[in-house]
Amino acid sequence: MNTRKDMTDKVEELLESAGNTNEVKVSPFFKDQTLDRMFAAKEELPSSGFSWFTPKLQWAALAIIFLANSYVLYNANQSNYNEKLDQFAETYQLNNSNDGMSSFLK
């Protein structure tokens, strides 16, 4: 059985020898294959015409859509309220022609 010292020496030796490898040459076809892959990838890039629509602009557009929707929704609620009020006034004949109560409501 190995002693602890033997094992420690073995570990040290192993760590020190980590870089003891011969240089391995890259394959002679590597350059051409890589160039072909690079430029094939370039040709495949879809030119959708939306490259200007960067993530920043996408967020800005989303914020504008959200604000516009909120505004429309708010206005729709307001007009519903007025419509209902008119309907109510009509039902109980509180419209402009019977000025007594309608002027009171306004």
Residues contributing to the site for another protein (CB under 8 A): 1-2, 7-8, 10-12, 14-15, 17-27, 30-31, 33-35, 37-39, 41-42
Nearer to another protein, 19 or 100 (CB): 19
Nearer to another protein, 26 or 74 (CB): 26
Tokens of 24: 């391995």
What's the CA angle centered on 52, arms 50 and 54, to 5 degrees? 100
Closest separation in Å from C-beta 51 to another protein? 12
- C-alpha 2/C-alpha 4 separation (Å) is 7
Torsion of CA 57, 62, 66, 72, to 10 degrees: 70
Nearer to another protein, 38 or 52 (CB): 38
